[in-house]
Chain A
Amino acid sequence: MGKPVHQLDRVVIRFAGDSGDGMQLAGDRFTSETAVFGNDLSTLPSFPAEIRAPAGTLPGVSSFQLHFADHDILTPGDAPDVLVVMNPAALRANLADLPRGGRLIVNIDEFTPRALAKVGYLEDPLADPMLTSYHVHQIPLTSLTKRALDGFPVSKKDADRAKNMFTLGLLSWLYSRPTESTLAYLESRFASRPEIMKANVAAFEAGWSFGETTEDFAVSYQVHPAPLPSGTYRRITGNTALAYGLVAASVRSGLPLFLGSYPITPASDILHELARAKRFGVYTFQAEDEIAGIGAALGASFGGALGVTTTSGPGVALKSETIGLAVALELPLVICDVQRGGPSTGLPTKTEQADLLQAMFGRNGEAPVPIVAPRSPADCFDVALEAVRIATTYRTPVILLSDGYLANGSEPWRIPASADLPDLRVAFATRPNHVGPDGQESFWPYLRDPETLARPWAVPGTPGLEHRIGGLEKADGIGTISYDPANHEHMVRTRAAKVAGIAASIPALEVDDPDGGASLLVLSWGSTYGPVAAATRRVRDAGGRVAHAHLRHLNPFPVNTGEVLAGYRRVLVPEMNTGQLALLVRARYLVDTVSYTKIAGVPFQVAELTHVISDNLGELPG
């Protein structure tokens, strides 16, 4: 007789273990099963900065959190309902996040006196009476796995390694997940090593049967699929979505993509993904440094390619001079900054939004650059296309601000049809655009489109359009070197006007204000979208009135931004920095915003923002 099955509407699971325990893989596979099952979901991996910190230590702990539900969700969840810990270090690093009443699954095989001592436990934490406030399952996951693989032709080490699959099998049973995608994955992953594949499948199945038979688990759970819009879905991380968005932009513009990049966490996966897109004619150039990366991308743009560079904050610092050159040259270029904790090397594997002002102002001279920011992992795809649209239409460098949370987080993505993507075709200059008083035709590289103020893109190889560009100030129109004060003033203001004019091509700022009567507006940008939107929902569910607006374009702002902000008694700006958007908004619109800031390397929690919003509501006259 099967065990009873209980219904849940949402669950947050965190897998935690040593970096060598395969927790990222277990989490990833569980997520795939969950996605295929049709739940809405959101994930957040957390890695140590070191590749292999000493085994069993706190710095070596790696974890993967997954939130899945029968309704649409916006964040990977504040706190786990279920915490799986593979060793004492994982317990020590994660227990504080598990709310009372939560479920704790412990691999007791690893709780040896030595392992406990390594992380400073003087006594066995599993004997702590405090633990009675959790549902604790003490399971010998390692030895059960080894027993299940008794007789399999695999080494002790490989048998030991399969414990993540045993654990996955157990959790898959507990939450009634479909198993086909994991079995298919193991088959293809270990296609060339059938004995390893069979052992992993056996471990996975043993974990599942253990759940069915052990008395430790009295019930299993089910979370119904979420009613998402119909379509074909896949799960996607921010970095993959960004890479795909760039490939799509290349296809839709007809321009070859040229990525110049230097490896840096958390941006490197974009380089890796694009390096595999050679069939699309994508060039990936791993440069000697970030300056060469952006330089090569700009050189490729000069030649008519879609020049892109990907990096994180420290890399943007190195690229600044070349971004300034691109401003002067007025050539398309996309700079993707996957932000991480700073300053300096900071927190390479943690998230932050502290490069907004660097993007806005981090260059010498008056060097305005458009800025766009995705709001969720899947949104990285659309924002990449938007960055390319702006860059090619306005002949300007564009900065795209993603962050570590978006880069590695994942969510379901409704796959678009390529034909429905924006048409990004561009026209290169092909003939002279100026006739002199003597009737001679010539080419003026700085003769602008009256509407966009963009200059012509005349690529080398085009006969008759030979011209020279460079970082020295140019005379508007004819494009020769000019030190004329009036021309410089005109050029500075023209470049600014060109960037400001982009606002005419972007959608108005939308406000989510269901009953229209709110006096508090929460303004978000980038990855704070998810927690802010979830928190405003919660506040409304509790009867509060609050409006939410989200900025996808940070330079220029949508034209109606000032009007929107002026319509509320208070504007609250939560940011993972010390108030950078607030500074811009206050300066630009003279709106007395209230900042709520956090620089802890982790995204906002929904509960935290719910409190902040409620507190602000409480301070406003009803």
Chain B
Amino acid sequence: MSSTTADRPTTLPTLTAKDLKTDQEVRWCPGCGDYAILAAVQGFLPELGVPREKMVVISGIGCSSRFPYYLNTYGMHSIHGRAPAIATGLATSRPDLMVWVVTGDGDALSIGGNHLIHTLRRNVNLTILLFNNRIYGLTKGQYSPTSEVGKITKSTPMGSVDQPFNPVSLALGAEATFVARALDSDRQGLTEVLRAAAAHQGSSLVEIYQNCNIYNDGAFEVLKDPATRDAHLVRLVAGEPIRLGAEGERGLVWRRGHLEGLDAASVPVEDLVVHDPYDPDPTTAFALSRLTDPSMAYVPVGVFRDVDRPTYDRQVSAQLEQASAQAGPGDLDALLAGGDTWSL
């Protein structure tokens, strides 16, 4: 490990994945999808050229939230559900930092649902990696807000009855400016999405389908098994028509206010929906997010939405600067002596 001191302005200019490993022993179950995500993140971060000390990872509680301990940056493993709130304070007061939030489906969508939606609508400059294994891993296998209806777990022996969230739909509804989905095992697709998320200014939400091989094994198997995955995965590529089916034989078309998958050959080319993540109107992105339900018949992966909106931290800083520019920087003695005064 390097022994950098303050005399040097930054860490080594070119980081490697190894520089980002810590000497904490990784404690996930063997085979857990979290390993693949960690490897993808460690592999991709160096290419950003951001010094290690400028990166901060803040997590909540859950198996996934152990993440910061394994990444040699600044980090905080906080409390259940609150990471987006904590990260908001840091990102707002320290716009020079690159802030990541790591959270699970229970952490982000149950206990922390409120913070998640408000962080997204504010467009705080941070990137949220939501590890969705559709189960509570750390507490040993209760159903989660993304578990499918009828899920049988220790806490739902007769099956769960409540409708799950679709995290991408939720994020779009919460005015998110960047929303994407990736698969833990798809290193390339995940890396591309991470790259786009990191480049985005403002809040980015990346839903990562993550296999919990202990409590919900195979939840995303249809998307991984070479025999089935191409029929189900819909890869979103900006500027290209959206194709469904193993051979891309179906195209997406708007019909009576719905997105429908029709035989591409039978549809005029100009009717095919071309993916445009930069569309300011989130309508199509939302419709795409609904393709996933109720089964995983079609699962779009990639970037659903990537639009520009002023970030929270920039606007807040701008107000501080404007206040100083208009009335001069704060003078404590003048503040204290404001209002009616009298002398004795």
Contact = CB atoms under 8 A, between A and B. Distances in A.
B8 interface: yes
A255 to B, nearest CB: 10
Contacts of B75: 467-470
A408 B73 CA distance: 46
A7 to B, nearest CB: 20
B69 interface: yes
A298 to B, nearest CB: 6
A418 interface: yes
Interface string A503-539: 0000000000000000000000000000000000000
Contact of A463 (B10, B56, B320, B324): B10
Interface stretch (B220-228, B245-253, B333-341): B333-341
B258 interface: no
B92 interface: yes
A415 B92 contact: no
Contacts of B10: 463
Contact of B85 (A35, A233, A295, A468): A295
Given A298-B89, A441-B5, A468-B22, A247 B332 contact: yes
Interface in B71-120: 72-79, 82, 85-94, 96-97, 114-115, 118
Interface string A12-36: 0000000000000000000010011
Interface residues of A, number: 75
B51 interface: yes
Interface in A182-231: 225, 228-231
Given A418-B336, A430-B6, A470-B78, A233 B319 contact: no
B58 A442 contact: no
B332 A35 contact: no
Contacts of B72: 466
Contact of A303 (B97, B115, B316, B329): B97
B330 interface: yes
B338 to A, nearest CB: 8
Contacts of A278: 319-320, 322-324
Contact of A464 (B5, B336, B343): B5
B344 A233 contact: yes
A297 B82 CA distance: 12
A395 to B, nearest CB: 15
A234 B332 contact: no
Given A235-B340, A279-B323, A441-B3, A295 B94 contact: no
A470 B69 contact: yes
Contacts of A472: 77
A431 interface: yes
Nearest to B22: A468
B89 A300 contact: yes
Interface in A257-286: 258, 260, 277-283, 285
A251 to B, nearest CB: 5
A322 B6 contact: no
Interface string A225-260: 100111111110000000010011001000010101
Contact of A295 (B115, B323, B328): B115
A431 B6 contact: yes
A432 B3 contact: yes
A346 interface: no
Contacts of A277: 330, 335
A460 B82 contact: no
A462 B336 contact: no
B94 A303 contact: yes
Contacts of B338: 234
Given A248-B336, A289-B114, A466-B52, 20 more contacts: A36-B342, A230-B344, A231-B343, A258-B89, A280-B332, A282-B320, A285-B92, A291-B82, A291-B115, A295-B115, A296-B88, A300-B94, A305-B94, A416-B336, A440-B1, A461-B97, A462-B53, A469-B76, A469-B77, A481-B24
22 contacts: A244-B335, A258-B93, A279-B320, A279-B323, A279-B329, A279-B330, A288-B114, A295-B88, A296-B92, A299-B91, A303-B56, A303-B89, A325-B78, A325-B79, A415-B336, A418-B332, A463-B53, A464-B4, A464-B53, A467-B74, A470-B75, A470-B77
